[in-house]
Amino acid sequence: MRNELNQHGVENLYVRRDRRSRTGVACQYKDPRFGFKEFTGVKQYRGLGSDVTQAIETARKLNACLIPLVASAKVTLIVNTAKTSSKSIKLSTWLTQYTAVQEDKLKSGALKPNTWKVRRGLINRINKAHGKYKLDAITTKLVKALLDSYLKEGKVRSAQAVRSVYIDIFTEAAQAGEVDSMFNPAKTTKKPVAKVTKSRLSLSQFEQISAQFDYKPFKLASLLALVTAQRRTDLCLLRKFKGSDWEERFNKYKENPNHFIDTNDAGDSFQKLVRFAPYSYLENDYLHVFQLKTGKLLKIPLALKLRIIDQSIHDVIKLAHHNIESDFVLHHTKNRNKAKIGDAVSPILLTRHFKNARDKTGINWSSTPASFHEIRSLSERLYREQGIDTRQLCGHSEQKMTDAYNDLRGSDWQIVKI
C-alpha cells in the first residue's frame, strides 16, 4: 500500500521525502518502457523535481504517451512467443509433401508434364527463399518481397508463376489441415501485370530466317509449320502413315495422358512421346493431326495451299522426302550427336536452330525476338486473310485448355474445310 505521499492516484509517479529539496520532497517517474528490448537505453527512473502538482501533470502526460507504446510491445511479445511455440510444420517439410501430391497428379494425368517441369523449379526457388519458416509464420510481406525480387529484374512472368504456385501450396496445405482454410498469404498479394513484349513474326522476317538455316530438315520444319499452323511437337511426331499401334496408343492416352511418365526418370521426354504417345500421320490425302496439348483430332486436306507463298501442305511434305528410310516426315538426313539418320527431329532442336538462324539475320526486333512458336501465329494471320476458318485449323476451342486437355471426346475427327 502506498504511503501518504503517494496517494495522488497517478501511475508510475513516486514521491519521497528529501530534506535537501525546497519543498522537502522529491518526485520520480518510473519509465514503463524499462526492461523491454524494443526500447534500448531507457533509464528506469526520471527526476520530476520537488513540485508535486507539477510532477502529477507531467506524469499524466508521460503515461498518455508511453503506456500505449508499452502495451503494443507486450502484444508483439505475446504474438511472437505464440509463433515460436507454434506446432505448425516448416515450409520445407510441407513442400516435400506438396511435391508428392503433384507427382500423384502427374501420374493420374491431372497435371501436364511441362507444367510439372516448370512448377518443380518454382518449388525449389520458394523453398530456398522461405523454407526455414513455419507455415503459419509466412506473411504476405515475405511473399511480396520474393515477388519484388523478380520484378526488379524485369521477370514479370516468373513473378506471376511464383505467386500462382505459392497460392496453390497454401491451398493444398489447408486441405491437408496444416493451416487454416482462410490462411493464404500469397493470395493477398497483388498479381503482377505483364505487358506483351514478344515480337510478332512477319512473312518477310520468316523468309530471312529461313534462308539462314544450314540444315535442310530444320528449314523444312519451319516451312511445314507455316503451311499447317500446327505446333512444333505435333509436327515432329508426324509420321508418313498410320501404324497398327495408333489405336492402342490413343486409347491409353484417353485413359491417362501421362501413363508413360516416370517422375523419377529425367530422360528425354520427346523420346518417350515417340515411343508411347499418339501421333499425327498422313492418310487418304489428309494430314491427320493429333494435338498433344489439347487432345483434338483434325483432318487437314493436303491440298490446303498458303497462296501468298504458293505452296500447299502436299508440296512441303514432298520436299521433305529425302529417299531415306524413316517413319517420320521430318527426319534427320545426317548423324547428329545422339540422333541417327532417319530419327525424328526433336522440338528442342527446332527451337534452338531457329534462334541461331534468327540471330544470323541481324533483324532489329522492337521487343523480345520472335520464337519458333510465332510461326503458328503468322500462319494463322495469313490464312485468315485468305478466308480460312483459322479457329478450326489451329484447333482452338472456347473451353479452357486444361478442360480440353483432359476431355479427348472420343475419336471424332474434325475436318478442316478449304
Choose, from 163, 231, 249, 332, the residue flagged as catalytic: 231
User: CA-CA distance, 144 to 415, in Å (whole number)?
Assistant: 48
Q: Would you call 259 a catalytic residue per the annotation?
A: no
In a 10 Å sphere around its CB, with 0-12 CB exposed, 13-18 middle and 19+ buried, how is residue 132 labelled?
exposed
Q: Do 164 and 151 contact (CB within 8 A), yes or no? A: no
Q: Would you call 163 a catalytic residue per the annotation?
A: no
Choose, from 125, 360, 373, 384, the residue flagged as catalytic: 373
Q: Would you call 405 a catalytic residue per the annotation?
A: yes
Choose, from 163, 279, 376, 383, the residue flagged as catalytic: 376
Q: Do 162 and 150 contact (CB within 8 A), yes or no? A: yes
- Cβ neighbors of 12 (< 8 A, separation 6 or more) are 29, 30, 31, 32, 59, 62, 63
Choose, from 30, 107, 305, 396, the residue flagged as catalytic: 396
User: CA-CA distance, 146 to 156, in Å (whole number)?
Assistant: 12
Q: Would you call 239 a catalytic residue per the annotation?
A: no
- Cβ neighbors of 251 (< 8 A, separation 6 or more) are none
Q: Would you call 293 a catalytic residue per the annotation?
A: yes
Alpha helices, DSSP H, located in 85-215: 91-108, 113-130, 140-151, 156-175, 185-188, 203-210
User: CA-CA distance, 310 to 293, in Å (whole number)?
Assistant: 29
Choose, from 60, 125, 144, 293, the residue flagged as catalytic: 293
In a 10 Å sphere around its CB, with 0-12 CB exposed, 13-18 middle and 19+ buried, how is residue 350 labelled?
buried
Q: C-alpha cell of 345?
A: 527431329
- Cβ neighbors of 364 (< 8 A, separation 6 or more) are none
User: CA-CA distance, 325 to 332, in Å (whole number)?
Assistant: 10
Q: Would you call 74 a catalytic residue per the annotation?
A: no
Q: C-alpha cell of 42?
A: 531507457
- Cβ neighbors of 91 (< 8 A, separation 6 or more) are 126, 127, 130, 131, 132, 133, 134, 135, 138
CB atoms within 10 A of CB 299: 15
- Per-residue DSSP letter, 339: B
Q: C-alpha cell of 261?
A: 511418365
Choose, from 14, 279, 281, 405, the residue flagged as catalytic: 405
Catalytic residue positions, numbered = 231, 293, 373, 376, 396, 405
